Structure 1
Amino acid sequence: MRNQDDAADRSDGERIEAAEREAARQRILALAEADRIPVEETTRAVPDRRWRRGGR
């Protein structure tokens, strides 16, 4: 009888850990999405005169 209780407790613990891992994963994904820079902003060309001004 004790073995069944241990297995049930372990199963509950594993479910709780899985839920915590999923919650942490969702938080990380939400932070990454908030910090994401749109592609349009990363591929924008810098005007040529800005480069020339910095070189002199």
Structure 2
Amino acid sequence: MSDNTAGDGAGERTQAAEQEAAKRRILEQAEAERIPVEETTRAVPDRRWRRDR
């Protein structure tokens, strides 16, 4: 039984490391694709925003 417990712990550590690596990749991709707020506010002309109100 102790063999199974040791194997489970190693599997959990491996899975945790893989999840952390995936999380880092997702965050790096999100940062690379991030659009600065200044650009998003310039995307809609002021007159169109006023017309919708």
Identify the TM-score tier after normalising by the shorter chain: 0.7 to 0.9
Identity of aligned residues (%): 55
TM-score by length of 2: 0.78
- Give the whole-Å Cα distance in 2 for the aligned partners of 1:12 and 1:46: 56
- Give the whole-Å Cα distance in 1 for the aligned partners of 2:16 and 2:33: 26
Query: Residue type of the partner of 2:36?
Result: P
User: How many residues were matched structurally?
Assistant: 47
TM-score by length of 1: 0.74
Q: Structure 2 regions of 5+ residues with no counterpart?
A: 49-53
